[in-house]
């Protein structure tokens, strides 16, 4: 044995570790980077190639914002609207996250169309790329599925009614329609299971399908490579080809940054996505789909009755079928035979007709709605209702669900009483009978300045007393408006003042106009029919405190009293129908109309 101390052996080194690094020796990441970044771009980098990458970036945005929304969202019919209202109005930057998610859905639809046009112009649907073209069409169809299922998740009026139209059309499918509808909506009617089914489709089933199709689409793209510009000659392609990194990667990243910046600006300016009032099956609503479904909505107008299902199922099938057949409609031969656009006019014409018809139908739908005065009024009413519901949600949403948020409003009890006892004869906003079935005066903004002005000029119109026994008892007051002194406005201000000063938020009384109106009241002999002492009967109602709390309470109790409408009255008394608390709530609700 040697006296020298034996030197310990050095620890073994990984083969190639010093040359390539520790991480490379363990993962081989450089090979992956080489695969991703060194792909040859035939004909060189171009801005026209960015659309596919933009779609991937938009999809990543959807995944990220969707995950953030899931942290606060509650997929149940009682809690869904409340959770979305909480995200929108109370979670820090919740409105921004939801707006990015919602607006990116529209961005994806636009991106799909642009990518489709670029692919068609370059002829990237021809052999051997037909399957890649078809997977792209399936991806577009899948994105529509995401839009449709996500539409219902807020459980608001807009999504509820628009989605119900879609499932009703699904139920009209021959043979399998009813069973398919019940499967999708979780029973014979809409409810909690409908929402959970759509939620499962939106966050699990459709993402799995999307992941698989994106993988196939990208694999086929890498297999066949980029389709060069039609004007590039074959001998130019080899000379001008370059790797994906860096130039094409910079193009893609620049375009992606600009797209996200534009999306951010759009969402900030619009302050997030729309949220309408809580879904209420009993409340009327003029449903309209998002803009990308408007063409089909417009088309269905031209196919009434039983033909509607033919259009609903047949039109998308014809559209997708025409696009799927583009590789066979193209007579220019496989890729490389002829890249000239002129050789592919037939297929490009088909694509132009498909996209042009969609654009035309969408524009027609928007223009018709813009010209539809009733729809615009109902839309404004729905927006006001949505704002009211979201304001009430700040006080907390009752456990009964989104619609119960109105219970936070002190006027809600009065509204329910109006629906139960008054809406059979009187119309107020969208409550009550149709105009032609109305028996008493229209009570929207009852006793407000605008209501009084209209009444004075046309008391026997159907809006006022034209369909009651009181008609013919009063002549129109001939006081031209907008003249020096505005006599009509003065008289209206006086009558309005009889109920006392307006509440908080109401326009204050004009003392000068009230004084002049009181003089006009006597000059125009209004006092011959209307007393103002609260005791004496006349040919018309006694106007002491007209539309005040006391006046309304006594009127509801005794509408046939001599100080009100006497023998001409055809309104039932509510003394035995309503208790004191209910009577007070109904009076409060009616009083609130004058200050709207």
The token pair at 196 is 């959970």
pTM: 0.77
User: Between 309 and 377, where is the model more confident?
Assistant: 377
Task: State the pLDDT at residue 477.
Answer: 85
Condensed to tens digits (0 to 9), the pLDDT of residues 436-448 reads 888 899 999 999 9
Pick the last residue of a domain from 323, 349, 375: 375
For residue 33, being part of any structural domain is answered with no
Q: Over 50: is that where the pLDDT of 82 sits?
A: yes
Task: State the pLDDT at residue 328.
Answer: 83
Task: State the pLDDT at residue 236.
Answer: 57
C-alpha span between 290 and 278 (Å, rounded) = 18
Task: State the pLDDT at residue 18.
Answer: 47
Local structure of residue 41 (DSSP, 8 states): E
The token pair at 32 is 């992956």
Of 127-136, 402-411, 420-429, which range is least confident?
402-411
Listed as own residue / partner, the contacts of 161-164 with beta carbons closer than 8 Å and 24 or more positions apart are 161/279, 161/285, 161/287, 162/287, 162/288, 162/289, 162/290, 162/293, 163/198, 164/190, 164/287
Q: Over 90: is that where the pLDDT of 67 sits?
A: yes
Highest mean pLDDT among 83-92, 477-486, 535-544, 567-576: 83-92
Residues 352 and 302 in one domain: yes
Pick the last residue of a domain from 375, 392, 423: 375
Domain interval for residue 168: 44-231+253-375
Pick the last residue of a domain from 375, 393, 427: 375
Task: State the pLDDT at residue 43.
Answer: 67
For residue 90, being part of any structural domain is answered with yes
Give bridge partners of residue 278 from the DSSP assignment: 156
Task: State the pLDDT at residue 335.
Answer: 53
What would the mean pLDDT of 560-575 be, rounded to a whole number? 89
For residue 509, being part of any structural domain is answered with yes
Q: Over 90: is that where the pLDDT of 266 sits?
A: yes
Local structure of residue 14 (DSSP, 8 states): P
Task: State the pLDDT at residue 447.
Answer: 93
Entry field: residues in the chain: 596
Residues 163 and 295 in one domain: yes
Of 13-22, 327-336, 509-518, 528-537, which range is least confident?
13-22
Nearest to 322 by CA among 298, 347, 297, 341: 347
State the pLDDT confidence band at 329, using cuts at 50, 70 and 90: confident
State the pLDDT confidence band at 483, using cuts at 50, 70 and 90: low
Residues 364 and 451 in one domain: no
Residues 314 and 453 in one domain: no
CA within 13 Å, CB half, 250:
6
Q: What is the CATH number of the domain that holds 72?
A: 1.20.810.10
- Give the mean pLDDT of the chain: 86
Residue 41, classified by CB atoms within 10 Å of its CB into exposed (0-12), middle (13-18) or buried (19+), is: buried
What would the mean pLDDT of 194-199 be, rounded to a whole number? 94
Q: Over 70: is that where the pLDDT of 507 sits?
A: yes
138: left (phi over 0), alpha (psi -120 to 50) or beta: alpha
Classify 326 as helix, strand or coil: helix
Of 105-114, 170-179, 316-325, which range is least confident?
170-179
What would the mean pLDDT of 455-483 be, rounded to a whole number? 84
Return all residues near 412 (Cβ < 8 A) that are at least 6 apart.
406
For residue 2, being part of any structural domain is answered with no
DSSP 58-79: HHHHHHHHHHHHHTT---STTT
Q: Over 60: is that where the pLDDT of 377 sits?
A: yes
Task: State the pLDDT at residue 1.
Answer: 46
Residues 58 and 174 in one domain: yes
Sign (positive or negative) of CA dihedral 105, 107, 112, 113: positive
Return all residues near 104 (Cβ < 8 A) that are at least 6 apart.
58, 61, 62, 65, 263
Residues 350 and 468 in one domain: no
State the pLDDT confidence band at 188, using cuts at 50, 70 and 90: confident
What percentage of residues in the chain have a pLDDT greater than 90?
A: 46
C-alpha span between 117 and 123 (Å, rounded) = 10
What would the mean pLDDT of 5-26 be, rounded to a whole number? 59
The token pair at 437 is 């079935």
For residue 286, being part of any structural domain is answered with yes
Residues 499 and 425 in one domain: yes
For residue 247, being part of any structural domain is answered with no
Residues 76 and 202 in one domain: yes
Nearest to 111 by CA among 316, 297, 260: 260
C-alpha span between 391 and 379 (Å, rounded) = 18
Domain count, the chain: 2
C-alpha span between 324 and 130 (Å, rounded) = 9
Task: State the pLDDT at residue 45.
Answer: 77
Residues 213 and 95 in one domain: yes
Classify 140 as helix, strand or coil: helix
Q: Over 80: is that where the pLDDT of 174 sits?
A: no
C-alpha span between 230 and 347 (Å, rounded) = 15
Q: Over 70: is that where the pLDDT of 150 sits?
A: yes
Of 4-13, 37-46, 368-377, 508-517, which range is least confident?
4-13
For residue 402, being part of any structural domain is answered with no
Question: Rg for the chain (alpha carbons), in Å?
Answer: 34
Residues 335 and 431 in one domain: no
Residues 70 and 206 in one domain: yes
For residue 290, being part of any structural domain is answered with yes
State the pLDDT confidence band at 182, using cuts at 50, 70 and 90: confident
Task: State the pLDDT at residue 331.
Answer: 63
Task: State the pLDDT at residue 345.
Answer: 80
Nearest to 116 by CA among 51, 59, 58, 60: 51
Q: Over 70: is that where the pLDDT of 11 sits?
A: no
Residues 264 and 333 in one domain: yes
Task: State the pLDDT at residue 367.
Answer: 94
Task: State the pLDDT at residue 333.
Answer: 55
């Amino acid at each position: 044995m040697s006296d020298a101390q034996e030197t310990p052996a050095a620890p073994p080194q990984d083969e190639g570790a010093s040359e390539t690094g520790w991480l490379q020796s363990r993962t081989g990441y450089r090979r992956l980077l080489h695969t991703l970044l060194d792909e040859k771009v035939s004909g060189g980098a171009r801005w026209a190639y960015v659309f596919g990458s933009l779609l991937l970036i938009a999809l990543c945005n959807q995944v990220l914002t969707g995950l953030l929304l899931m942290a606060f969202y509650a997929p149940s019919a009682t809690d869904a609207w409340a959770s979305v209202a909480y995200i929108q109005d109370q979670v820090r930057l919740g409105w921004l996250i939801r707006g990015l998610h919602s607006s990116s859905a529209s961005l994806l639809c636009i991106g799909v169309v642009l990518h489709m046009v670029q692919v068609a112009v370059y002829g990237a649907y021809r052999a051997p790329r037909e399957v890649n073209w078809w997977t792209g069409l399936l991806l577009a169809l899948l994105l529509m599925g995401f839009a449709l299922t996500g539409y219902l998740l807020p459980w608001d009026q807009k999504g509820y009614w628009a989605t119900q139209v879609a499932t009703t059309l699904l139920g009209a499918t021959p043979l399998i329609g009813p069973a398919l509808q019940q499967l999708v909506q979780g029973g014979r009617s809409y409810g909690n299971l409908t929402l959970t089914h759509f939620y499962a489709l939106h966050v699990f089933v459709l993402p799995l399908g999307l992941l698989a199709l994106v993988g196939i689409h990208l694999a086929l793209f890498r297999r066949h490579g980029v389709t060069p510009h039609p004007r590039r000659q074959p001998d130019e392609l080899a000379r001008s080809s370059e790797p994906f990194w860096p130039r094409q990667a910079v193009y893609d990243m620049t375009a992606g940054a600009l797209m996200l910046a534009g999306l951010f600006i759009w969402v900030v300016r619009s302050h997030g996505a729309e949220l309408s009032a809580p879904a209420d099956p009993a409340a009327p609503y003029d449903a309209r789909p998002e803009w990308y479904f408007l063409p089909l909505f417009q088309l269905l107008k031209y196919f009434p009755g039983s033909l509607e299902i033919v259009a609903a199922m047949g039109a998308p099938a014809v559209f997708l079928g025409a696009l799927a057949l583009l590789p066979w409609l193209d007579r220019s031969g496989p890729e490389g035979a002829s890249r000239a656009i002129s050789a592919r006019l037939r297929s490009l014409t088909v694509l132009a007709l498909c996209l042009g018809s969609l654009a035309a139908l969408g524009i027609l739908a928007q223009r018709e709605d813009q010209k539809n005065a009733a729809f615009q009024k109902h839309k404004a009413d729905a927006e006001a209702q949505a704002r009211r519901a979201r304001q009430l949600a700040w006080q907390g949403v009752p456990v009964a669900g989104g619609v119960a948020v109105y219970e936070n409003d002190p006027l809600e009890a009065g509204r329910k009483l109006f629906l139960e006892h008054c809406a059979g004869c009187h119309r107020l906003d969208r409550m009550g009978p149709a105009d032609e079935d109305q028996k008493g005066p229209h009570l929207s903004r009852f006793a407000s300045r605008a209501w009084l002005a209209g009444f004075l000029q046309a008391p026997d119109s159907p809006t006022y007393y034209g369909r009651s026994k009181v008609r013919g008892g009063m002549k129109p007051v001939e006081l031209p408006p907008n003249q020096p002194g505005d006599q009509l406005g003065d008289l209206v201000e006086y009558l309005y003042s009889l109920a006392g000063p307006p509440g908080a938020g109401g326009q204050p009384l004009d003392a000068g106009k009230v004084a002049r109106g009181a003089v006009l009241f006597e000059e125009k002999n209004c006092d011959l029919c209307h007393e103002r002492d609260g005791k004496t009967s006349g040919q018309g109602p006694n106007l002491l405190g007209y539309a005040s709390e006391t006046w309304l309470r006594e009127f509801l109790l005794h509408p046939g009293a001599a100080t009100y409408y006497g023998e001409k009255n055809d309104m039932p008394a509510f003394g035995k129908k309503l208790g004191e608390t209910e009577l007070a709530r109904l009076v409060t609700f009616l009083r609130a109309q004058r200050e709207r």
